[in-house]
């Protein structure tokens, strides 16, 4: 009986080790695939067909989520999912005019935010919903590879805040977003073609002066972002029209800038064709509302 027990125990042990080894192999394969996905994702950024990208991206995001189930701590997938979900919400949902799409965008922004925060150190996650001063201290220590992850997490949260302006609680989240973006500004203002300057341009341009708005600062940030991308990322011009020309009632600048965006060549920035196509679509819609804005 004792021998049978030992043999049986040994059998379970062998099976257990094989299962563990299988899980380990799967995890290694997924971790290797992360680099491949990262390199392949540039094809979406290069896509010029807005509709094709809209239809293709969701399946790829779910595939990456599946990969993350196998390797839950993979920071590459976490960061890519943060970027993917908030970019999809921004590019294909929030500007559609459909209330249901707006609600979907809110959900995807928060989903992206959760992935972005998961990619950051535990000390940052610990204070993400706590004391703002402690959160700022934790964020102020980030550098290197954590900066892109911080950018996408804060980009997602900022997108959610923008769609919840009537929610008093969103004011606190805006403060956390600014804390995160301020660190990005300090460490690497050039990341994603000066994306942090686009954030600050909107930050100062979308609010009235009595609440901290400053059109001059907004313009400076948009111009800085345009300089970093050599004028090729059209979102900087779009935002200049929307968040500087409108608040200052500069109708001539508004019309000229938006027409520049609309008339820009498709291959102005091949690595960011999709982002520029999104900017073009938004510029067309914004220009059509000129009589309501001036």
pLDDT score for 230: 97
Q: CA geometry: angle at 249 spanning 243 and 252, to 5°?
A: 95
Asked if 77 contacts 34 with a C-beta cutoff of 8 angstroms, the reply is yes
Q: Tell me the pTM.
A: 0.88
d(CA 3, CA 138): 57
pLDDT score for 59: 93
**Which structural domain range is residue 170 located in?**
2-293
pLDDT in tens, 215-236: 999 999 999 999 999 999 999 9
CB atoms within 10 A of CB 197: 26
pLDDT in tens, 162-184: 999 888 878 789 999 999 999 99
The single residue listed with the structure tokens 């800085």 is 224
Return all residues near 264 (Cβ < 8 A) that are at least 6 apart.
Answer: 234, 276, 280
Residue ranges for the chain with pLDDT beneath 70: 1-26, 29-31, 33-34, 37
d(CA 58, CA 75): 20
Give the chain's domain count: 1
pLDDT score for 126: 93
CATH code at position 273:
1.25.40.920
Distances (CA, A) of 207 to 61, 112, 290: 33, 25, 19
């Amino acid at each position: 009986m004792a021998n049978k027990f030992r043999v049986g125990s040994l059998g379970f042990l062998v099976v257990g080790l094989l299962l563990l080894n299988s899980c380990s192999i799967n995890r290694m394969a997924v971790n290797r695939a992360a680099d491949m996905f990262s390199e392949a994702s540039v094809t979406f950024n290069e896509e010029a067909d807005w509709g094709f990208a809209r239809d293709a991206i969701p399946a790829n995001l779910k595939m990456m989520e599946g990969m993350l189930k196998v390797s839950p701590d993979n920071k590459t997938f976490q960061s890519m999912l943060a970027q993917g979900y908030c970019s999809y919400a921004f590019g294909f949902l929030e500007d559609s005019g459909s209330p249901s799409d707006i609600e979907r965008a809110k959900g995807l922004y928060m989903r992206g935010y959760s992935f972005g925060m998961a990619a950051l150190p535990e000390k940052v996650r610990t204070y993400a919903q706590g004391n703002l001063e402690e959160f700022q201290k934790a964020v102020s220590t980030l550098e290197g590879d954590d900066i892109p992850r911080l950018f996408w997490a804060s980009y997602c949260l900022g997108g959610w805040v923008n769609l919840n302006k009537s929610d008093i609680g969103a004011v606190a989240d805006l403060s956390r977003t600014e804390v995160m973006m301020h660190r990005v500004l300090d460490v690497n203002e050039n990341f994603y073609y000066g994306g942090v300057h686009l954030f600050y341009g909107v930050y100062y341009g979308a609010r009235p002066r009595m609440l901290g708005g400053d059109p001059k600062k907004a313009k400076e940030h948009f111009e800085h972002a345009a300089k970093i991308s050599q004028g090729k990322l059209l979102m900087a011009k779009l935002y200049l029209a929307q968040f500087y020309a409108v608040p200052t009632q500069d109708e001539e600048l508004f019309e000229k800038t938006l027409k520049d965006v609309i008339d820009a060549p498709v291959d102005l920035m091949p690595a960011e064709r999709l982002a520029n196509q999104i900017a073009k679509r938004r510029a067309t819609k914004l220009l059509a509302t000129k009589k309501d804005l001036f």
